[in-house]
A and B are shown apart, each in its own frame.
Chain A
Amino acid sequence: MAAATTVPVLGIIDQLPLLVVVVPMIAAPLCVLFGNRTIAWILTFAASLASLLFSLHLLLQVMDGDVVSYWLGGWGPKDGGIAKGIEYRIDAANAFVLVLISLISTIVLPYARRSIEFEITKVSHTLFYCCYLLCFTGLLGVVATGDAFNVFVFLEISSLSTYVLVAMGAERDKRALTAAYDYLILGTIGATFFVIGIGFLYSATGTLNMEELSVRLPELGTNRTVQVGFAFVVVGMGLKAAFYPLHLWLPGAYTFAPSVVTAFLAGTATKAAIYVLLRFLFTVFNPEMVFNTDALSYLLIPLAVLAMFAGSLIAVFQTELKRLLAYSSVAQVGYMALGIGFLSTTGVTATMVHLFNHGITKAALFLVVGAYVLRAGTSFTDRLAGLGRQMPWTSAAFVIGGLSLIGVPGTAGFISKWVLLQAALEKDWWWMGLLIVASSLLAVIYVWRIVEILYLQQPRAGKEIAEAPLSMLVPIWILAIACIWFGFATEMTIGASETAANSLIGGRS
Chain B
Amino acid sequence: MTEYFPPFLVYVIGAIVLPFLPNDGRRASLLLVVPLIGASMIWSMPEGMHGLMVLAGVEMNFLRVDKLSTIFGLVFSLAAFLSLLYAWHVRDTIQQVATLLYAGSAIGAVFAGDLGSLFIFWEGTAIASVFLIWARRTEGAYHTGMRYLIIQIASGVILLAGAVLFYRDTGSLAFEKMTLGSLGTWLIFLAFGIKCAFPLLHNWLQDSYPAATVTGTVILSSFTTKLAVYALARGFPGTEMLIYIGATMTLFPIFYAVIENDLRRVLAYSLNNQLGFMVVGIGIGTELSLNGTAAHAFAHILYKSLLFMSVGAVLFRTGTAKGSELGGLYRTMPLTMIFCVIGAASISAFPLFSGFVTKSLILSDAAHEGYYIVWGILLFASAGVFHHSGIKIPYFAFFAHDSGLRPKEAPKHMLWAMGITAFLCVAIGVYPEPLYALLPYEVEYVPYTTTHVITQLQLLFFSALAFTVLMRTGIYPPELKSVNLDFDWTYRKLFPAILRHAANFVSTVMAAGSHFIRRKRETVIRGLYQSHGPEGRMAKVWPTGSMVLWIAIILSATLIVNFF
Given contacts A189-B551, A246-B554, A319-B534, contact A295 B116 (CB under 8 A): no
What residue of chain A has the Cβ atom nearest to residue B559's Cβ?
A231
A240-276 interface bits toward B, Cβ cutoff 8 Å, 1 = contact, 0 = none: 0000011011011000000000000000000000000
Tally of contacts, chain A with chain B, CB under 8 A: 103
> Is A230 interfacial (CB-CB < 8 Å)?
yes
The CA-CA distance from A148 to B534 in the complex, in Å, is 40
B513-555 interface bits toward A, Cβ cutoff 8 Å, 1 = contact, 0 = none: 0000000000000001100111010110110101110110011
> Is A401 interfacial (CB-CB < 8 Å)?
no
Give the chain A neighbours of B164 by CB distance below 8 A: 421, 425, 433
Is A227's CB under 8 angstroms from B551's CB?
A: no
Give the chain B neighbours of A456 by CB distance below 8 A: 134, 142
Given contacts A246-B550, A425-B168, A433-B164, contact A227 B562 (CB under 8 A): yes
The CA-CA distance from A441 to B160 in the complex, in Å, is 13
Interface size on A, residues (CB 8 A): 53
Is A193's CB under 8 angstroms from B56's CB?
A: no
Is A227's CB under 8 angstroms from B119's CB?
A: no
Is B538's CB under 8 angstroms from A310's CB?
A: yes
B147-179 interface bits toward A, Cβ cutoff 8 Å, 1 = contact, 0 = none: 000000000010011001100100000000000
> Is A232 interfacial (CB-CB < 8 Å)?
yes
What residue of chain A has the Cβ atom nearest to residue B58's Cβ?
A418
> Is B511 interfacial (CB-CB < 8 Å)?
no
> Is A205 interfacial (CB-CB < 8 Å)?
no
The CA-CA distance from A419 to B542 in the complex, in Å, is 35
Is B536's CB under 8 angstroms from A248's CB?
A: no
Is A415's CB under 8 angstroms from B561's CB?
A: no
Q: A318's contact among B539, B548, B554, B558, by CB below 8 Å, is which?
A: B539
Is B532's CB under 8 angstroms from A231's CB?
A: no
Give the chain B neighbours of A408 by CB distance below 8 A: 123
The CA-CA distance from A190 to B547 in the complex, in Å, is 11
Given contacts A314-B532, A317-B536, A419-B56, contact A186 B547 (CB under 8 A): yes
The CA-CA distance from A295 to B554 in the complex, in Å, is 14
Give the chain B neighbours of A327 by CB distance below 8 A: 539
Given contacts A246-B551, A295-B561, A317-B529, contact A488 B55 (CB under 8 A): yes
> Is B200 interfacial (CB-CB < 8 Å)?
no
> Is B563 interfacial (CB-CB < 8 Å)?
yes
Q: B548's contact among A189, A234, A490, by CB below 8 Å, is which?
A: A189
Give the chain A neighbours of B56 by CB distance below 8 A: 415, 418-419, 490, 494
> Is B48 interfacial (CB-CB < 8 Å)?
no
Given contacts A238-B554, A245-B550, 4 further A-B contacts (CB under 8 A): A292-B564, A314-B538, A317-B536, A456-B134
Give the B-binding residues of A (Cβ under 8 A).
182, 185-186, 189-190, 193, 224, 227-228, 230-232, 234-235, 238-239, 245-246, 248-249, 251-252, 291-292, 295-296, 298-299, 310, 313-314, 316-320, 327, 408-410, 415, 418-419, 421, 425, 430, 433, 437, 441, 456, 488, 490, 494
Q: Which 7 A-B pairs have the closest CB atoms?
A: A231-B558, A317-B533, A313-B532, A248-B547, A314-B539, A295-B561, A227-B562
| Residue contacts A-B, CB under 8 angstroms, 30 given | A190-B551, A227-B563, A231-B562, A235-B554, A235-B558, A245-B550, A246-B547, A252-B541, A292-B564, A295-B561, A295-B562, A298-B561, A299-B557, A313-B532, A313-B538, A314-B532, A317-B528, A317-B532, A317-B533, A317-B536, A317-B539, A320-B534, A408-B123, A409-B119, A409-B120, A425-B164, A430-B165, A456-B142, A490-B55, A494-B57
